[in-house]
Structure 1
Amino acid sequence: MSEKYKAKNPEGIYFVTFAVVQWVDVFTRREYKDILVESLRYCQQKKGLIIYAWCIMTNHLHLALGTDGGMALADIIRDFKKYTSVALVRAIQENIQESRKDWMLSILKEAAAGSSKHLKYQFWQNQYHPVELTNNDQQQRCLDYIHQNPVATGIVSEAEAYVFSSATDYAGGKGLIAVSFIE
């Protein structure tokens, strides 16, 4: 990985995106999104991940995050991606309702065939390019971008209505996992 794309500041807040290989629309089913949410919660509780903003789209996940300093951000991300890759592939394989199972698994298998580090399936694209948010203006633009993603793609008409986003938290509702940028 290039030096340009590393989370160097252990106290920094970073914008990252994790995308499914070939941009496959895996997260159209709630059970797959729930796996991501539970894994993010685990990383918060056990690994010191701090989530300032998040949004699960159909084929990618946006996050603004940092750490409490106990574990490096790159290590948390590595563990998150590794765990969710296995859990999501297993969930797809075991889902008797999944009409796209063979198609999705063939794409994930093909992606692994071109990789030296994945044995059978590759779920996530390798890159996540952390971008440090060093001031309030950058944080606000990131927050707006993350929260408006489901609106821009037509999933909801108002950001606060999308359950799988921290827009609910920022609107004063009971969200799933985010803490505010605001101190």
Structure 2
Amino acid sequence: MSRNYKFHNPEGVYFVSFAVVECLDVFTRNEYKDILLENLGYCQKHKGMEIYAWCIMSNHMHLIFRSTDRLKPELLLGDFKRFTSRVLVKTIQENPRESDSN
């Protein structure tokens, strides 16, 4: 999820897509999808993200959104992606079903 987005109109509505590293099918498990949804909800309530639509696929996500206040769209999206990816990686590492050590 490292693409840098360029938003020319801070008040515009944007369609973005971002994928999991190496296109791993992370979002086949509900617990990982729930992390995405919880963090989207947080951004709506606390960071001024207005969401028009979203679609979670097995290894990527599509989002139509705009920033209504405080943060520029690129900063808002960057915060969402950075925090969400950290939580996902930590949750996956702590999940015994995902462990590589057999």
- Considering only CA atoms, is the larger Rg found in Structure 1 or Structure 2? 1
Identity %: 56
- The alpha carbon displacement at 1:13 in A equals 0.5
SS class of match (2:33): helix
Per-residue CA deviation, residues 108-127 of structure 1 (Å, 9 max, x unaligned), is xxxxxxxxxxxxxxxxxxxx
- The alpha carbon displacement at 1:93 in A equals 0.8
One-letter amino acid matched to 1:53: A
The equivalent residue for 1:11 is 11
Q: Given the two structures, how large is their TM-score scaled by the length of structure 2?
A: 0.89
Q: Given the two structures, how large is their TM-score scaled by the length of structure 1?
A: 0.51
Q: Give structure 1 stretches of 5+ with no counterpart.
A: 103-183
The equivalent residue for 1:160 is none
One-letter amino acid matched to 1:27: F
Tell me if structure 2 keeps the 8 A contact 1:15–1:62. Answer: yes
1:17-36 aligned at under 5 Å gives the runs 17-36=17-36
SS class of match (1:27): helix
Tell me if structure 2 keeps the 8 A contact 1:10–1:69. Answer: no
- How many aligned residue pairs are there? 99
The question of 1:43 aligning with 2:48 is answered no
Provide runs of 4+ in structure 1 moved above 4 Å.
Answer: none
SS class of match (1:78): helix
Q: Give structure 2 stretches of 5+ with no counterpart.
A: none
The equivalent residue for 2:59 is 59
The equivalent residue for 1:173 is none
The equivalent residue for 2:79 is 79
- The alpha carbon displacement at 1:70 in A equals 2.1
Bigger fraction of residues in strand: 2
SS class of match (1:70): coil
1:1-183 aligned at under 5 Å gives the runs 5-98=5-98, 101-102=99-100
